[in-house]
A and B are shown apart, each in its own frame.
Chain A
Amino acid sequence: MSRALFKEKIGKGITRPPGNSEIYGDVGFRFFSIACAWSIILLILFILWMIGKQAIPAMEKYGFGFLTGTTWDVNKQQFAVLPEVWGTLYSSILALIWGGILGVTIAIFLTQDFIHAKIASVFRLTVELLAAIPSVVYGLWGIYVLIPLLRPVAHWLHEHFGWFPFFSTELSGPGMAPAALVLAVMILPTVAAISVDAFRQIPAKVKEATYGMGTTRAEAIFKVLLPTASSGLLAALVLGFGRALGETMALAMLIGNSNQISLSWFSPANTLASLMASSFPEAGGVEVQALMYAALVLLLITFLVNLGGLYIQQLTMRKFEGSK
């Protein structure tokens, strides 16, 4: 600043303390953002409280029998969710096995120099696009592509291996197998993304030391990289499992909504989320209370699983913090 300008301005004060409006603005803005942070915590408590409050009558009426009974009958006013809990867990576990294997393999494929880095980024984009496709579109695809495709396979498996509990029924249309397969495709991006991070967190020197010992790629991956990344991979699987548990629409469209407990992959089943999706719009009175109770059960299961996943992820981060 030129000296003349400085002299001219200094009388009016080129520097000045913040004015009243600035101070009030500052206090107001800070207050407002802190209020927002509080509101997000209050929101989750409010969610718990609202669902809990609505569920109380049903909880008093059905108690723990709600979790062990097998009928959901509006006319008889009997409500219990064991088949749904079973279906939720069974479909998610199947999806986790199939989607988990695919997801971790893709993470290996993308991080362990299988393809040129540029092609890997294109492939990564493809996997991320899988995550962007809405759940209903997967459901539609499942109904009109996957189920017709699976039917002859299921028929053959049932014919030849019908004694095996997984193949003990015919696939008549919707059922566990198509639902779990679509679910596997849906959790694949989650598992792959977190696993890629887990592999990237391994310090380069570990990999260099491994290859320096003269290992082949398979040996390096199985004996060193997988064990080193194991906790990160576990977090990926648990978080993927959490996603699978809460998934609604694709399952509501594909699983058949039938209250039965079966090991068979080809029999229809039901899940907590799809029970809510299919019954809520027409429910009234007592059924709404029972559905709220079911929502609470689902909330509890997903909360515990996600908490476990986040905890493992935290542990992994801490493990590698010092070594970079």
Chain B
Amino acid sequence: MKDLKTPKQLRKEGWKGLNLKREPFESRSLGNSVFSGMVWLLALIAAIPLLSIIYMLLKHGGARLFSELLPVLTELPPAGFEMGGGIGPAIIGTLVMVAIASTIAVPMGILTAISIKILGKESKLARGAHFTAKVLTGFPSILSGVFVYAVLVIKFGYSALAGGVALAVLMLPTIIIAAEEALGQVPKRMTDAAYGMGCTPTQVMWKITLPTALPGIMTGVMLAVAGAAGESAPLLFTALFSNYYLSHMNEPTASLSVLIYNFSGMPFDNQIELAWTASLVLVIIVLIFNLFARAISRKKN
């Protein structure tokens, strides 16, 4: 502090000799460097799990997947000490249940967003529905399984349909929130112009608002689908599991995620290897939808 000068001194002696440079070993700079170092370190640590997971997936799952692509993707899962086998029924099961969930959740989610954002702006219903969607985003996925168990499974037994409904409950909030945001970004002058032409609200919706908001809505839908494909907790006791291909909607169904869960705890190397292979396939499916979502939203910008 000794070279700090009062304004009076400064005026007298001029600015000459005043050192405004920051010395690298002064305590403040040192503290700053330590802090920056810590931030770098922690950021790199955070990247380790992802890299490790990708490495393990490719090492354990990739070897099996790429050497026996066809049998792995089509054959039935192996029993006990059996060698070989595949994950065919699980892939089909996951795709079917996600499709069921999407047919329920996509139209319902978009229509709810429309009535929140466009039809009933600021109404009590809109606020209530928006709040519900927000609360549902933090809804533990297993509770959706518990709910469907109480509603459907107790009466009709385990089925692909029940699994699809459980996934739909989880997809809804993601779709609603994304669609609301996309609808809110449609410029008002466009809809005003359409109303000025004498369009009914529905015509404005179908011809102007929805096409304009479509990329944003699709992004939300893709993210919801990706999330649903990776879910396993709600499927554990709604779709259960099955070793065979799906033949009816009302019977237990295999899914990739439940297969991974079941096989991960088995004492057989073949099953564990298949669990890694199924994980790789599942991650690829999820990433494809994620990248789709990203590509769509980038196009919009």
Contact = CB atoms under 8 A, between A and B. Distances in A.
Contacts of A129: 50, 287, 290
Interface stretch (B9-17, B77-85, B143-151, B242-250): B143-151
A40 B287 contact: no
Contacts of A54: 150
Contact of A143 (B151, B176, B264): B264
Given A136-B261, A137-B282, A140-B279, A239 B138 contact: yes
Nearest to A140: B264
Contacts, number: 253
A123 interface: yes
A127 B46 contact: yes
Given A36-B112, A47-B143, A249 B232 contact: yes
Interface stretch (B66-74, B126-134, B213-221): B126-134
A180 interface: no
A33 B232 contact: no
B4 interface: no
Interface string B118-145: 0110000110110011111111111111
Nearest to B41: A105
B233 A106 contact: no
B35 A307 contact: no
Residues of B in contact with A, size category: 35 or more
Interface string B148-177: 011100000000000000000100100010
B143 A139 contact: no
Interface stretch (A60-68, A161-169, A211-219): A211-219
Interface stretch (B95-103, B187-195, B198-206): B198-206
B111 A36 contact: yes
A292 B279 contact: no
A53 B150 contact: yes
Interface in A215-248: 216-219, 221-222, 239, 242-243, 245-248
A9 interface: no
Contact of B134 (A51, A245, A246, A310): A310
A299 interface: yes
Contacts of A291: 146
Given A216-B32, A217-B32, A246-B138, A136 B56 contact: no
A33 B121 CA distance: 13
Contacts of A25: 200, 202
A315 interface: no
Given A26-B202, A242-B138, A276-B146, A132 B226 contact: yes
Interface in A1-52: 15, 17-18, 22-23, 25-26, 29-30, 32-34, 36-41, 43-44, 46-47, 50-51
Contacts of B133: 40
A247 B198 CA distance: 51
B232 A135 contact: yes
Nearest to B29: A216
5 contacts: A22-B200, A25-B200, A26-B201, A135-B233, A141-B52
Interface of A: 15, 17-18, 22-23, 25-26, 29-30, 32-34, 36-41, 43-44, 46-47, 50-51, 53-54, 101-102, 105-106, 108-109, 114, 123, 126-127, 129-130, 132-141, 143-145, 185, 188, 216-219, 221-222, 239, 242-243, 245-249, 252-253, 273, 276-277, 280-281, 291-292, 295, 298-299, 302-303, 305-307, 309-310
The 7 closest A-B CB pairs, nearest first, are A246-B140, A134-B230, A306-B138, A218-B35, A248-B233, A216-B32, A36-B111
